[in-house]
Amino acid sequence: MSHIFFANELEGVATWWSIKRRDGVALGFTSHDRDLVFANFTYRAAPGMIPSAIRRTAGLSSDAVEVEGVLAHDSISAADLEAGKYVGARIAIGLIDWETHDRATLFQGELGNISQEDGAFEAELRSAKASLDIDVVPRTSPTCRAEFCGTGCGISPARFTHLLRVESLDMETGSVSFIGAPADAAMHGGSVKWVDGPLAGITMQIIEAEGTLLYLDQSLSDGIAQGDLAILREGCDHTMSTCSSRFGNAVNFRGEPHLPGNDLLARYPVSSG
């Protein structure tokens, strides 16, 4: 940090923060009363956003920051928050001298829990050190711990991923069907990632598949229409039998289906007489 902020009694210092969502949308805001442009990016004036104190440490514990404010800017809507478009978004917060544009980044991380009440929101920001809290040693489990078609699974995702168009929608039941979708047995536990419409970039989990209908874990938007594109990923129940019989992939099974559980400790001998 070459510029020393707040070294003088009167300084033109403002807070800036950028949000980069997983669907590719990037937003910038500042506490200044006018928009600021730097680093080829426009930071919109949003005085309703209030960052809390930022404390960085040299320890291994995660640096947590909270931001709260009013949904006063058109770029942030309650509908987008409810749809999960900001889940896991990358966040950067810093200071800037609005006269010289000298700036410094104070925090980088991602959005955590977001709560909303009476038109205002509060968001938890997690620093990069939060990844240190992840247990690197896998725990034993009777089911496979690998993500389907992900690292450790070994199955090509292209075989079980389909780009399909919406055939029908039912807003009351929250169900949707797609032209040429696989059988319902293959879609249990799968996902739908929207390509077109107001939910573009949002991934929803399939909680139930019945015939051609897929029931999703999030509400459908009124803007979704017949013919919209979505990427369907088939599902897996992560059991040894499915891995072996359906996929022929038992060699990559990441679980211990035959390992005795804790109930073994509660067993006691009984007489056979």
Per residue in 44-82, pLDDT (tens digit) is 887 655 555 555 555 555 555 555 544 445 667 777 777
Rounded distance between C-alpha atoms, residue 113 and residue 105, angstroms: 22
- Other CB atoms within a 10 A radius of the CB of residue 40 amount to 5
- Which residue ranges does the chain devote to CATH 2.40.30.20? 157-252
Confirm if 49 and 76 have CB atoms less than 8 A apart: no
Rounded distance between C-alpha atoms, residue 214 and residue 166, angstroms: 11
Write the CA distances from 203 to 105, 118, 190, 238, integer angstroms: 31, 27, 10, 20
Please compute the mean of the pLDDT values over residues 113-135 and round it to a whole number.
66
CATH architecture for the domain at 157-252: Beta Barrel (2.40)
Please compute the mean of the pLDDT values over residues 126-154 and round it to a whole number.
79
Rounded distance between C-alpha atoms, residue 150 and residue 130, angstroms: 22
Q: Identity (one letter) of the amino acid at 165? A: R
| CATH code that applies to domain 13-131 | 2.30.110
**pLDDT 10s digits, 234-263:** 999 999 999 999 999 999 999 988 887 676
**pLDDT 10s digits, 14-54:** 888 888 888 788 888 888 888 899 888 899 887 655 555 55
- Which residue ranges does the chain devote to CATH 2.30.110? 13-131
